[in-house]
Structure 1
């Protein structure tokens, strides 16, 4: 059984930066990581790429050959990847023994709440290769500064969750920059918990541009609240504690914490204590490591 993440989100939300930072963090705590670039438009990768879709198809070639724009070209590339899924499977098989997988997808949001190609690709890989994947959906934190954009982000997150049908974690990325974007109308908890959007609706009514859409806004907020599925974690990719908290959530969602109790205990001990000596954490008794892991996960929600 192989574990990993499907990294998605709108353009500019920080997916490639996330994959780079997450791979470094996971390597630091002892996991062997393979990053799979499935974005045929991403020609400047900051990380070492184990598999690159450009070895199969390039967006520039598709646009030139079929006279397509960037959006149509990306849809074509995902369709081509689905039809040539054997290529990706053959590339992945050597990594399945001991690697943790990060799939870096394109930023075209239609691929994840409208078209079925990306979903079909992941479903086929999950069934054939016995993968346990969590979708990590990145949303730029600056959208919280505009109530209309924030509601759009909520709708996008909800529709993506329903469409992909994977364990799913929504993340407000670049949270360290949120103060530079402008003053928030409410505390950050309001935007992460998504509990009562009526306050946000009242704030929107004060904007003359949004007043005429009052009824539509109310209905959209009702849809989001009726499903009651969307909330957000926060992420500063430069902060070890922030990345560590997110890794714990992802590990819970895809079941990684149950795959190797011994290694998990060591990993999250490293997160809590900073730079560590590996030998210090090789305890002689397995029982002690099991207890340590259980205690850690039982109190993590209170100390972070």
Structure 2
């Protein structure tokens, strides 16, 4: 038994909420309970039911109106306010969840929140101290692969989040179903600097050669960044991603196998005594 959580992060517009919706619909279809949580104080509408919402604590609209901040400054204020209220507000929300509960946190898109600030590290530490098995799901738009420079930047952002948060981490290449040309998709699922650097050099020019080489070496030395493709039109796609996350957080490993009463048939053992099928002595 355990408590499990996904923290879904990534750049703005990369498909985090669509991923959460797709995951929720998949779990609904396989009769598996999952609870979606909104941690974006600027969110307006959802395709999935929200179990609890940061906007009940603080909303970007109220902060901008009352403090006169811009949208980015207001978002930073909201997340720092959440950090200050983790024990009171978040702790109270989590009290209603226990063993075998599975939460999916849909997070805001500004990368500085998890690359430069302490709020998400404080958040994941709070969850871990409360007994939650946590996995980070980093979403990156598949259209980044059409521009090698953008893809390298996205891969480095994913690596930075992995190093910063120090959690089991699954990187997801979203919107694969919208790609017109998927012939070279596999080249980006397991980035190989020897393959990607010549493309990067051709698109950025010779003056960036040393920088390109350093970025390629960084990804190569850590050897941590790989991606799983998400095609929301393919049920197997989300099932594969969920299976990988389940392995990362050891979901269900300590569950005892159970036989439903309507599935049990004493005649199956051959002698009708409910035994193991062996000969009677």
Could you say which TM-score interval applies, normalised by the shorter chain?
Answer: 0.7 to 0.9
Shift of 1:214: 1.4
Aligned counterpart for 1:107 among listed residues 106, 109, 120:
109
RMSD over aligned Cα atoms: 2.1
Name stretches of at least 5 consecutive residues in structure 2 with no aligned partner. 267-281
1:243 aligns with 2:245: no
Q: Which position in structure 2 is the counterpart of 1:215? A: 210
Q: 1:59 to 1:202 in 2, by over 3 A?
A: same
Shift of 1:199: 2.5
- Structure 2 CA distance for aligned equivalents of residues 205 and 118 of structure 1: 34
- Structure 1 CA distance for aligned equivalents of residues 205 and 261 of structure 2: 59
1:61 aligns with 2:62: yes
Question: What are the Cα deviations for residues 174-203 of structure 1, in whole angstroms up to 9, with x where unaligned?
Answer: 111122xxx57x732220111x31322212
- Structure 1 CA distance for aligned equivalents of residues 143 and 103 of structure 2: 28
1:188 aligns with 2:185: yes
**How is 1:45-56 mapped onto 2 (pairs within 5 angstroms)?**
45-56=46-57
- Structure 1 CA distance for aligned equivalents of residues 264 and 215 of structure 2: 53
Shift of 1:284: 6.9
On the 8 A contact 1:204/1:211 being kept in 2, the answer is no
Shift of 1:125: 2.1
Question: What are the Cα deviations for residues 6-55 of structure 1, in whole angstroms up to 9, with x where unaligned?
Answer: 11111111111111111121122222211110100111111111101111
SS of 1:135 mapped into structure 2? strand
**How is 1:1-304 mapped onto 2 (pairs within 5 angstroms)?**
1-85=2-86, 86-127=88-129, 129-179=130-180, 183=181, 187-194=184-191, 196-207=192-203, 209-260=204-255, 262=257, 282=263
Using structure 1 for the length normalisation, give the TM-score.
0.81
- Structure 2 CA distance for aligned equivalents of residues 279 and 79 of structure 1: 50
- The structure that has the greater radius of gyration is 2
- Structure 1 CA distance for aligned equivalents of residues 24 and 106 of structure 2: 11
Q: Which position in structure 2 is the counterpart of 1:272? A: none
Shift of 1:95: 2.3
Shift of 1:141: 0.4
SS of 1:213 mapped into structure 2? helix
Question: What are the Cα deviations for residues 51-76 of structure 1, in whole angstroms up to 9, with x where unaligned?
Answer: 01111101011122222222221111
On the 8 A contact 1:31/1:99 being kept in 2, the answer is no
Q: 1:212 to 1:257 in 2, by over 3 A?
A: same
Give the aligned length.
264
On the 8 A contact 1:89/1:125 being kept in 2, the answer is no
Question: What are the Cα deviations for residues 159-181 of structure 1, in whole angstroms up to 9, with x where unaligned?
Answer: 010001111000101111122xx
- Structure 2 CA distance for aligned equivalents of residues 203 and 279 of structure 1: 59
Shift of 1:260: 2.0
SS of 1:237 mapped into structure 2? coil
Q: 1:50 to 1:202 in 2, by over 3 A?
A: same
Question: What are the Cα deviations for residues 125-168 of structure 1, in whole angstroms up to 9, with x where unaligned?
Answer: 220x2100110100000001111001101100100100011110
Name stretches of at least 5 consecutive residues in structure 1 with no aligned partner. 267-277, 286-304
